[in-house]
Amino acid sequence: MGKLIITAAICGAEVTKEQNPNVPYTVEEIVREAESAYKAGASIIHLHVRKDDGTPTQDKARFEECMKAIRKVCPDAIIQPSTGGAVGMTDLERLQPTEIEEAEFGLKAPEMATLDCGTCNFGGDEVFVNTDNTIKNFGKLMIERGVKPEIEVFDKGMVDIAIKMHKKGFISAPMHFDFVLGVQMTATARDLAFMVDSIPAGSTWTVAGIGRHEFPMAAIAIAMGGHVRVGFEDNTYIDKGVLAKSNGELVEKVVRLAKELGREIATPTEAREILGLKPLNRK
């Protein structure tokens, strides 16, 4: 079985310090959490950014500041900015982080970014809107900029939309999927197996179980040969009723699970090979 890629979703756009005081808002806090996850074994840092008061933002300058600061302590990590932003943001707001260059690596845009392939109910009156035209525009731009999309899917229909967009030329193969389970679709072994069986041959996949589903889904994914996402964006607890001290603590738990199940952890270099990304070579 191949090596395991761990993604750390270190802060998200919605979770707050009221839920866990260790949730990062400031640049310094975001760097702290990225470093803790990286040192624990995460190859990918899935990045949202905040203003210092915790307000989510897609501001290019804020993303650039955070990415440069993260790069100093996580020199070879795959930094994966979110284009999801927060509920209510416009397409243009959400796409800002795909404009960031890392000249020292010859990168005119991030190596990866997220691409949400459908509209999702987040609870209450919150609806995360992704129309077909939004998906087309995002996909086309990512192809133009050389950004590999991580296709975010919250139910089976979004897998079908991604496949349709690939056939129309808006998403390149091989595709990489992130199954976010426990929001719009339930999080069970049956659900994960169904999603995995629905994606094209040659695709890679990871799973993000939300809340109490995080570690059960991680264990199942490890056993199935997939990859795992954990982090404060998805879950703020290390055990029932026990708040996690850091993203690194959440990653460490996945590493222990992987060891028990016989999976080695991929380094960032190995993660790039698995995902079909170019090596990261400093100029």
> What pLDDT score was predicted for residue 19?
97
Count the residues in the chain.
Answer: 283
Query: At 203, is the secondary structure helix, strand, or coil?
Result: coil
Q: Beta strand 204-209 with 176-181: parallel, antiparallel or unpaired?
A: parallel
Q: Which domains does the chain have, with CATH numbers?
A: 6-275 (3.20.20.70)
- Residues whose CB falls within 8 Å of the CB of residue 128, separated by 6 or more in sequence, listed in order: 84, 87, 116, 119, 120, 121, 122
The C-alpha R_g of the chain, in whole angstroms, comes to: 17
Sequential pLDDT tens for the chain (283 residues): 899 999 999 999 999 999 999 999 999 999 999 999 999 999 999 999 999 999 999 999 999 999 999 999 999 999 999 998 777 778 888 999 999 999 899 899 999 999 999 998 877 888 888 999 999 999 999 999 999 999 999 999 999 999 999 999 999 999 999 999 999 999 999 999 999 999 999 999 999 999 999 999 999 999 999 999 999 999 999 999 999 999 999 999 999 999 999 999 999 999 999 999 999 987 7
Joined together, the tokens standing for residue 210 give 């939300």
What span, in angstroms and rounded, lies between the C-alpha atoms of 146 and 282?
A: 18
> What pLDDT score was predicted for residue 87?
75
What span, in angstroms and rounded, lies between the C-alpha atoms of 21 and 77?
A: 25
C-alpha distance from residue 128 to each of 71, 85, 131, 214 (Å): 30, 10, 10, 21
What span, in angstroms and rounded, lies between the C-alpha atoms of 12 and 25?
A: 10
Cα of 61 vs its chain's centroid, Å = 20
What single-letter amino acid sits at 189?
A
Strands in 124-277 per DSSP E? 126-128, 148-153, 176-181, 204-209, 227-230, 237-239, 242-243
Which residue's entry shows tokens 């990512």?
142
Phi, psi of 243 (to 5 degrees): -70, 140
Residue 240 falls in which region: left (phi positive, over 0), alpha (psi -120 to 50) or beta: beta
> What pLDDT score was predicted for residue 123?
79
Contact indicator for 88, 128 with CB cutoff of 8 Å:
no
C-alpha distance from residue 162 to each of 141, 148, 152, 223 (Å): 15, 14, 9, 25
What single-letter amino acid sits at 141?
L
What span, in angstroms and rounded, lies between the C-alpha atoms of 256 and 237?
A: 16
Joined together, the tokens standing for residue 83 give 């284009």
